[in-house]
Chains A and B, each alone.
Chain A
């Protein structure tokens, strides 16, 4: 069964060799002088490792995990016989929005540098694909960057990246130019788990454990905003991928959206369909971190509920390489065969246009 990994991180930081070569002297010097922290606000919760990484993912050449395309290929693409992997670098999104802010021109340059560095990965192996980093709080600049990346690298850039923490709810009209561009190019918006300005509706957490758990809460306001703002009525071909944001929540949340709407629908007459229909037709999910119910048979039950909800064609395997809570493809072995085949590769292939390589990937079971 061919495999596509929908969520891989190749992690660069400003003031590193990978990015400096794509930045102007003016801003390289600025960062050397002013550093990257002076704009940072908010408290910190140190991650369990410096880069939230697997300890074996440090490349032999040294350097940070996820900076060496050849080592990553060995540990991921070749080891598991993958047909493709989508590189999502949330650092860029977090740097220009989230908890940090830079002079605007520097933000633009950082975002472009990440996207330019990505082209080295494209050259290193045809199986690397990527999301376009954009300054999504500046939608007109964002659409220019989408155009630039698609012109330069065509369909290797398969998605436009948001991180979960936006200044306004993500369905609001200010972001619509980005959705228009995505619809134009036929690529989805990808929204990735990340810490940001607000940890929770009730302020910030104290612990990385708590923070990491709470990342998945962003699913609720994201889906709610996109649905109730009528984004999918305006952009009927837009697709949205929720990355590292869990998947089993979608079953009860679809019910909740519909129940809320049944009582309050007069507030939003611009919706032409039930909320759960939008959910089913416009959203995609990734598997990592894979559920571990305390009653193992609940997992089989949850797969059934997912299929009943019509979301079995929208769940995509993801590894989150090189993070510490990485899932190998075996993490979905408990799925029944047909579902497993869809999840391992077919669904992502359809969403991202990544071809599946016959004869590669995971073995089927008898």
Chain B
């Protein structure tokens, strides 16, 4: 693998922006299951040790540890997994990039584990570890609650347990699931989120029993990676079609690592289908793309840019200066350049992207 350097300066905010920086997507990687044992009942430690089980495989499946996209080479530390400690995050991103606040997402792949109690215990442990080792140690940080994504009742219980901790501003779900998230079985989760004033995060990852693609199981990681818009678009269509924003009008959503350049044409398609077919979904009583603008925010990692003037038009067709949020997606590697995007939007939108949208969305 070629790993000389990743042109880090292209996504370094200091090179492109003088103002405040809020990073809406940095990762904390659990160093090992051992790290979490202090935060869970001993029965789960015994379960794992007896079985020689070292943690869910989901994180490694969705971010293969040695794949280039999993970490920029500059962010790989000797003998430590990328992003596996607060000190690494501070050294690589928070301090040098002048980050005022950052939202920590810890995707540990809990969704691969089917045992409902065990999965819930691991989710609790991750959240308590995030509080102890991250939130309590750096006041710049806020975080997302990890949820046991297969079990709506357990998700609600965890939101009730930690949802009022001031450091948690969001709860996230992996973008792939066995059942689309808009469906009514998940609505108690949205009720709990809105009651605790938490953002719903939709994040790269997730384990499904059937293929993670409409057309079967992909052969290559890059094949799956490139086509992942299919997963994001389907979940968003589900939230809209099932009337989630009608039932929960205060629900805020943030979407990570899915890009955003696909949204204008997808929104137009949703609007057009809605025009002809809306009788079937009467609770969807506004144009879908308008609801996306109102209820959803998208991180700009990846940007997936084309020629900058073409990208600028797509951004214009998003139809909102509030819809994009800067995120480094530390430690993941996307071949982006903030210089493709920032000079081509208004000054207001630049400021919104780099800090103000996230500040408002997360009430920072």
- Listed in ascending order, the chain A residues whose CB lies under 8 Å from chain B are 48, 164-172, 196, 198-210, 212-214, 216-218, 220-225, 227-229, 246, 248-249, 251-257, 259-268, 275, 289, 291-295, 298, 301-302, 305, 308, 324-325
Contact A222 B270 (CB under 8 A): no
In the assembled complex, B216 has its CB within 8 A of some CB on chain A: yes
Inter-subunit contact A207/B225 (CB<8 Å): no
Instruction: Give every chain B residue within 8 A of A172 (Cβ-Cβ).
Output: 219
Known contacts being A210-B241, A267-B222, A294-B319, is A225 close to B268, with CB within 8 Å?
no
Closest 8 CB pairs between A and B? Answer: A200-B234, A252-B261, A210-B241, A220-B227, A264-B222, A209-B277, A255-B306, A224-B227
Find B214's partner among A201, A206, A254 (CB 8 Å cutoff).
A201
CB <8 Å contact, A259 and B310 = no
Is the Cβ of B214 less than 8 Å from the Cβ of A196? yes
* Complex interface: chain B residues within 8 A of A264 (CB): 67-69, 221-222, 225
Residues 179-235 of B at the A interface (beta carbon under 8 Å): 179-181, 183, 206, 208, 210-231, 233-235
Assembled-state Cα–Cα distance A205/B178 (Å): 11
> B241 near A205 (CB under 8 angstroms)?
yes
The segment out of B37-45, B331-339, B345-353 that lies at the interface is B331-339
| Known contacts A169-B219, A218-B215, A324-B276; is-contact A207 B261 (Cβ 8 Å) | no
Contact of A249 among B238, B265, B333 (CB under 8 A): B265
Task: Let me know if A202 and B234 touch, CB within 8 A.
Answer: yes
Quick one: closest B residue to A247, CB to CB?
B265
Q: Are A164 and B215 in contact (CB under 8 A)?
A: yes
Which one of A212, A301, A305 lies within 8 Å of B273 (CB-CB)? A212
Q: Cβ of B215 and Cβ of A170 under 8 Å apart?
A: yes
How far apart are the CA atoms of A102 and B67 in the complex, in Å?
Answer: 42
Indicate if the CB atoms of A201 and B313 lie closer than 8 Å.
no
Question: How large, as a class, is the contact surface on chain B?
Answer: 35 or more
Contact A261 B222, CB 8 Å, known A167-B216, A198-B214, A213-B237 = yes
Residue contact B218 to A169, C-beta cutoff 8 Å: yes
Q: Any chain A CB within 8 A of the CB of B126?
A: no
Distance A257 CA – B176 CA, assembled complex (angstroms): 20
In the assembled complex, the Cα of A212 lies from the Cα of B237 at a distance in Å of 11
Verify A217–B336 contact, CB threshold 8 A: no
For B287, what are the chain A residues with a Cβ–Cβ distance below 8 Å? 294
Q: Tell me whether B176 and A201 are in contact (CB under 8 A).
A: yes
Contacts of A253 in B (CB 8 A): 229, 262
Given contacts A170-B215, A198-B210, contact A209 B241 (CB under 8 A): yes
Instruction: Name the one of A164, A217, A263 contacting B68, with C-beta atoms under 8 angstroms.
Output: A263
Nearest B residue to A210 via CB reads: B241
> Are A220 and B178 in contact, CB atoms less than 8 angstroms apart?
no
Partner of B183, one of A166, A201, A206: A206
Query: How far is A275 from B280 in the complex, measured between Cα atoms in Å?
Result: 39
Structural contact, A228 and B214, CB atoms closer than 8 A = no
Residues of B within 8 A of A (CB): 1-2, 67-69, 175-181, 183, 206, 208, 210-231, 233-235, 237-238, 241-242, 259, 261-262, 264-281, 284, 287, 289, 302-307, 310-311, 313-314, 317, 319, 333-336
Contact A210 B237 (CB under 8 A): yes
Instruction: Give complex CA distance A298, B211 in Å.
Output: 35
CB of B234 within 8 A of CB of A214, answer yes
Q: In the complex, A325→B222 CA distance in Å?
A: 35
In the assembled complex, the CB of B177 is this many whole angstroms from the nearest CB of chain A, namely 5
- Report if A291-B265 is in contact (Cβ < 8 Å); known contacts: A220-B229, A253-B229, A263-B334: yes
B273 touches A209 (CB 8 A): yes
Do A201 and B264 have beta carbons less than 8 Å apart?
A: no
The answer to whether B238 and A210 touch across the interface, beta carbons within 8 angstroms, is yes
Query: In the complex, A345→B237 CA distance in Å?
Result: 34
Residues of A within 8 A of B177 (CB): 202-203
In the assembly, what is the distance between CA of A207 and CA of B276, in Å?
13
**Cβ of B67: which chain A residues have Cβ within 8 Å of it?**
264, 267
A8 to nearest B CB, angstroms? Answer: 19
Contacts of B289 in A (CB 8 A): 294
A208 to B304, CA, bound (A): 31
A218, B223: Cβ atoms closer than 8 Å = no
Interface centre among B175, B177, B269 (most CB of A within 10 A): B269
Given the interface contacts A214-B237, A261-B222, does A169 sit within 8 Å of B215 by beta carbon? yes
CA distance A87 to B224 in the complex (A): 32
Contacting pair B306 A254 (CB below 8 A): yes
Please indicate the chain A residues that have their CB under 8 angstroms from the CB of B183 in the complex.
206
Question: Which of B176, B215, B226, B334 has the largest number of chain A CB atoms within 10 A?
Answer: B215
Contact yes or no, B304 A256, CB < 8 A: yes
25 pairs, A vs B, C-beta closer than 8 Å: A169-B219, A196-B214, A198-B215, A198-B216, A201-B234, A202-B176, A203-B210, A209-B277, A209-B280, A213-B237, A214-B233, A221-B227, A221-B230, A229-B220, A229-B223, A248-B268, A255-B311, A257-B226, A259-B304, A259-B305, A259-B335, A266-B2, A293-B264, A293-B317, A294-B319
